[in-house]
Amino acid sequence: TGKLKGHSGDILCIAWSRDGRRVATTSNGGEVKTWGPVTGVEMAGVSPGFLPMSVAWSPDMKFILTADTGRAVTIYRSSDMTLPRSANHGCEVRWAEFDPEGRYAVSGDDGGGLIVWDPATLKPLRSLEAHNEAIHQLLVTPNGRFIVTASGDGAVKLWSD
C-alpha cells in the first residue's frame, strides 16, 4: 500500500480520475491536490483560501471542480491547478459534481439550494430550493439524466431535467 503525504490537515474528499491514473483530494488545511496514486507523488496543488469541501474530475480529466465554504464553485485546470473560474453560490457549498458527459456541473449548498451550471462559463442554468437544510452530498446518474441529493432535513430527492 502507498500513502499520499502532503496535506496539512484531515482529508475531506477524494476522487479518482476516470482513467484511474490520478487522484484529487481536499483537506481541512484548505488545500486541493492531485496525485499519482501509484507513485504517491503530488502532481499539482492549490490553496484557494477557503475550506474545499468536495472535489470532482471532469469526464475528460482536464479540469477539477471544487465546492467550498467561501460560497464558491471553482473549476481548475487539473494539470497545474491554474486558470481558475469561480462562481458565487450565495451560500457555503458542500458538494459539486460534473455530469458524466461534461454537459453540466451541479452543486448543493448549506441552505438546501441546488444549482446546475454551464461548466464552460460557470453561468447558472437552473437553480432550485431543493431542501430545507444543507445538502450534504449529491450524485449524478451515469446517464446524466438524474441528480440525487441527500440533506440534513432527512430527505433523499431525485431530480430530472
Q: What is the pLDDT of residue 1?
A: 59
pLDDT at residue 3, as a whole number? 76
pLDDT in tens, the chain (161 residues): 567 888 888 999 999 999 999 999 999 999 999 999 888 899 999 998 899 999 999 999 999 999 999 999 999 999 999 988 999 999 999 999 999 999 999 999 999 999 999 999 999 999 999 999 999 999 999 999 999 999 999 999 999 96
Q: Read off the pTM.
A: 0.93
Q: What is the pLDDT of residue 38?
A: 86
Q: What are phi and psi of 7, to 5 degrees?
A: -80, 150
Q: What is the pLDDT of residue 6?
A: 83
Report the C-alpha gap between 87 and 96 in whole angstroms: 12
β strands within 47-122, DSSP E: 52-57, 63-68, 72-77, 82-88, 93-98, 105-109, 113-118
